[in-house]
Amino acid sequence: EVQLVEAGGDLVQPGGSLRLSCAASGFTFSTYWMSWVRQAPGKGLERVANMGPGGRQIYHVDSVKGRFSISRDNAKNSLYLQMNSLRVEDTAVYYCAREGVEITSGTTRGALDIWGRGTMVTVSS
Amino acid sequence: DIQMTQSPTTLSASVGDRVTITCRASQSISNWLAWYQQKPGKAPKLLIYKASSLESGVPSRFSGSGSGTEFTLTISSLQPDDLGTYYCQQYNHWTFGQGTKVEIK
Count CB-CB contacts under 10 A for residue A66: 9
For the four alpha carbons of A102, A20, B39 and A44, in that order, the dihedral sign comes to: negative
Among A46, A33, A52, A39, smallest CA distance to A113 is for A33
Taking each continuous run of H as one helix and of E as one strand, the counts in chain B are 0, 10
Q: B46–A47: do the CB atoms touch at under 8 Å?
A: no
For the four alpha carbons of A100, A103, A108 and A110, in that order, the dihedral sign comes to: negative
CB B99 within 8 A of CB B8: no
Q: A50–B94: do the CB atoms touch at under 8 Å?
A: yes
Q: A59–B91: do the CB atoms touch at under 8 Å?
A: no
Cross-chain CB nearest to B99 (options A44, A113, A115): A44
Count CB-CB contacts under 10 A for residue A120: 13
State the smallest CA–CA distance between residue B41 and chain A in angstroms.
9
pLDDT band at A45, cuts 50/70/90? Answer: very high
Contacts of B97 in chain A (CB under 8 A): 44
State the smallest CA–CA distance between residue B91 and chain A in angstroms.
5
Phi and psi, residue A76, nearest 5°: -105, 5
Contacts of A65 in chain B (CB under 8 A): none
Indicate the DSSP class of residue B97.
Answer: P
Burial of A118 (0-12, 13-18, 19+ CB in 10 A): buried
Read off the pLDDT of residues B29-82 as tens digits, 9 standing for 90 and up. 999 999 999 999 999 999 999 999 999 999 999 999 999 999 999 999 999 999
Q: Which of B94, B96, B98 to mutate to test the interface with A (most CBs of A within 10 A)?
A: B94
Read off the pLDDT of residues A63-102 as tens digits, 9 standing for 90 and up. 999 999 999 999 999 999 999 999 999 999 999 999 998 8
Cross-chain CB nearest to A117 (options B34, B43, B95): B43
- How many residue pairs from chains A and B have C-beta atoms closer than 8 A? 60
pLDDT band at B93, cuts 50/70/90? Answer: confident
CB B64 within 8 A of CB B46: no
B19-25, strands of its sheet edge to edge: B4-7, B19-25, B70-75, B62-67
Q: What one-character-per-residue DSSP string does A10-55 give?
A: -EE-TT--EEEEEEEESS-GGGS-EEEEEE-TT--EEEEEEE-TTS
CB A9 within 8 A of CB A18: yes
